[in-house]
Homo-oligomer: A and B are copies of this chain.
Amino acid sequence: MTAAAQLMKQMQEPVQPFAEWMRRVQVDMEAALERFLPAATATPVRLHQAMRYAALDGGKRVRPLLVFAAGELFAAPIAVAQRAAAAVEMIHAYSLVHDDMPCMDDDALRRGKLTVHVQYDEATALLVGDALQGQAFVLLTAADEGIDAARQIVMLHILAQASGSLGMCGGQAIDLASVGLNLSLTELEQMHKLKTGSLLRASVLLGAWSGKVLLQDEVAALEAYGIAIGLAFQVVDDILDATADSATLGKTAGKDAADNKPTYVSILGLPESQALAEKLRNDAHQALAIFGDKAQRLRDLADLIVQRKA
């Protein structure tokens, strides 16, 4: 059996415990990103080193986990899911690099490491983000690997929409404009649906599309799940920002309050925020009903997102 076939067998083994599956996806994703990023020795060397610094060795890989968990619903070929997961993770990594820059959130610490503009310089950070976005689309347009072009186009469209001005970038713009304002709960939710929610939702859809052409009710169920975990993710982020310390988070804690940014905790208070996170976890579970047992990984991920400590 080839290494890839072995991996595929291991990853699709239904009785594999969640924690082990998760660790395996994370290790596999690191190797995939290693392979899908331009080599550190390729010209221009400094840019490529900085791209790798930004994308490798960091984070919980929540988006790739969602891609793989959704991929399992429809037995997505590993190679297809890997590319989709790496592409989403590159978009996510680019957004972090740009968000951390002085003209945005001006943060020096990310995933326990110095941010790219501190470790390198601002111009390099700007280009790293730009090039990581481009590389995500290079990946998803690579020569066919077990998926027809029409499905590839759908996946590319989902990723492009989710990351642009009507998705992630739009959410970030609303976030910036909301500093010091009294947002309503609805406005806060709208902002997060775009800023973090759109890419999390896209991860779920990309994983599922990696397996097959989706039916309308499947899309609707996965959208509902994606929206619920997207909001849950942000509510928990706000709870952690208010309650955990920087060492645990790997980034500066208490920053939102210090920056006078509206959060779920600042609007709802801590106990109601925790109750909301629980409600959203429940919504996510409900949305998966039509998939039966096959959606267990997605259920486990919803639990993980709500119960995480960092």
A123 within 8 A of B: yes
In the bound complex, do residue A126 and residue B98 qualify as a contact, i.e. CB atoms below 8 Å apart? yes
Q: Which residues of B contact A43 (CB under 8 A)?
A: 170, 174
Instruction: Decide: A157 near B141, CB < 8 A? Known: A124-B173, A126-B104.
Output: yes
Bound complex: CA A197 to CA B48 (Å): 20
B-facing mask of A213-226, CB < 8 A → 1, else 0?
Answer: 00000000000000
Task: Check A247 for interface membership: any CB of B closer than 8 A.
Answer: no
Contact with B along A57-100 (1 / 0, CB 8 A): 00000000000000000000000000000000000001100100
Q: Which residues of B have CB within 8 Å of A161?
A: 138
Once the chains bind, are B174 and A131 in contact (CB under 8 Å)?
no
Q: Could you tell me if B103 and A173 are in contact, using CB atoms closer than 8 angstroms?
A: no
- Indicate whether A130 reaches chain B with its CB closer than 8 angstroms: yes
Q: Is A165 an interface residue (CB 8 A)?
A: yes
How many monomers of this protein are in the complex? 2
Chain B residues with Cβ under 8 A from A153's Cβ? 141, 149, 152-153
Closest residue of B by beta carbon distance from A136: B160
Let me know if A174 and B101 touch, CB within 8 A.
no
Rounded to whole angstroms, the CA-CA distance of A95 and B43 in the bound complex is: 19
Tell me, yes or no, whether A176 is within 8 Å of chain B by CB: yes
Interface residues in chain A, defined as those with a beta carbon under 8 Å from any beta carbon in chain B: 38, 42-44, 46-48, 51, 94-95, 98, 101, 103-104, 121-127, 129-131, 133-135, 137-138, 141-142, 148-150, 152-154, 156-157, 159-161, 163-167, 169-170, 172-174, 176-177
Bound form: Cα–Cα A141–B158 in Å? 9
21 contacts between A and B (CB under 8 A): A44-B165, A44-B170, A47-B165, A47-B169, A51-B165, A98-B126, A101-B126, A103-B122, A104-B123, A127-B173, A130-B133, A130-B169, A131-B164, A134-B160, A134-B163, A134-B167, A137-B137, A138-B160, A141-B160, A148-B149, A153-B153
**Cβ of B42 and Cβ of A166 under 8 Å apart?**
yes
In angstroms, Cα B3 to Cα A199, docked, is 39
A165 touches B131 (CB 8 A): yes
Bound form: Cα–Cα A51–B169 in Å:
12
A177→B44 contact, CB < 8 A: yes
CA distance A134 to B162 in the complex (A): 9
Report chain B residues within 8 Å CB of A165: 38, 44, 47-48, 51, 127, 131, 134-135
CB contacts (< 8 Å) of A121 on chain B: these are: 103
Give Cα A101–Cα B152 distance, bound, in whole angstroms. 34
**A164 touching B135, Cβ below 8 Å:** yes
Verify A156–B157 contact, CB threshold 8 A.
no
A204 to chain B, nearest CB (A): 19
* A169 in contact with B103 (CB, 8 Å): no
Give the distance in Å from the alpha carbon of A51 to the alpha carbon of B48 in the complex: 28
